């Protein structure tokens, strides 16, 4: 599946937003994009880029490979791995992290666990997972497809969707609504900043929120 490339300038604008504003903007459109349970392995790291998706399944009697898909990932993309939330084996470790860092890959999101965190933290590779566990995925799971729609925490992620992750968690923005979501998210951040300014000017928080329509900022327009 071919990835629709987004303008670099648009991605750069998303790098200045936090995931809270982005999920509020998606809520405004009736879209659930938050990837529940996905957290940073390396504190202070951030991810923003288009998704290169990878799907894993359990191995059968004939063992498959955990995959050499990194050779096909473009610089700036985010590897999104659907390992069905498995906690008994990992699909990402020190070799993958060092190679991805060298290639300029923006980061990795795993619906599952990773290992070799000492090296991951040393090279400061941005990876967001559901946990850490040392057992290898080799002979336990195998890659059965790349760049197909996958699921992470119950959210559909398609190749080319925009992935943003920070200290608050990770979110997927469908490529079809990237521009609209950016516009809404920026307006939400502007309103929230204005609320703080109004309170500093002497009004109560309640007054400021009513004035700026805070309670309906993320409410879907019918």
Contact 47, 126 (CB under 8 A): yes
* Alpha-carbon span 128 to 189, nearest angstrom: 24
- Write out the binding residues: 93-96, 115-116
- Write out the binding residues for Mg(2+): 116
- Write out the binding residues for substrate: 93-96, 115
């Amino acid at each position: 599946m071919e990835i629709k490339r987004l303008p670099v300038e648009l991605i750069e604008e998303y790098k200045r937003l936090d995931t809270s504003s982005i999920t509020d903007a998606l809520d405004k459109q009736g879209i659930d994009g938050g990837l529940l349970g996905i957290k940073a392995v390396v504190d202070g790291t951030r991810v923003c880029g288009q998704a290169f998706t990878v799907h894993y399944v359990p191995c059968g009697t004939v063992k498959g490979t955990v995959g050499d898909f990194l050779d096909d990932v473009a610089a700036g993309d985010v590897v999104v791995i659907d390992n069905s939330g498995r906690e008994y084996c990992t699909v990402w470790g020190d070799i993958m992290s060092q190679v991805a860092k060298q290639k300029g890959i923006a980061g990795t999101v795993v619906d599952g666990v990773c290992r070799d965190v000492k090296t991951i933290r040393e090279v400061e590779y941005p990876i967001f997972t559901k946990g850490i566990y040392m057992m290898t995925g080799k002979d336990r799971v195998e890659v059965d497809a790349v760049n197909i729609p996958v699921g992470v925490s119950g959210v559909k992620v398609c190749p080319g969707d925009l992935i943003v992750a920070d200290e608050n968690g990770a979110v997927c923005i469908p490529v079809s609504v990237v521009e609209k979501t950016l516009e809404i998210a920026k307006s939400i951040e502007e309103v929230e900043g204005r609320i703080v300014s109004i309170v500093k000017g002497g009004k109560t928080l309640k007054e400021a929120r009513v004035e700026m329509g805070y309670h309906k900022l993320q409410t879907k327009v019918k």
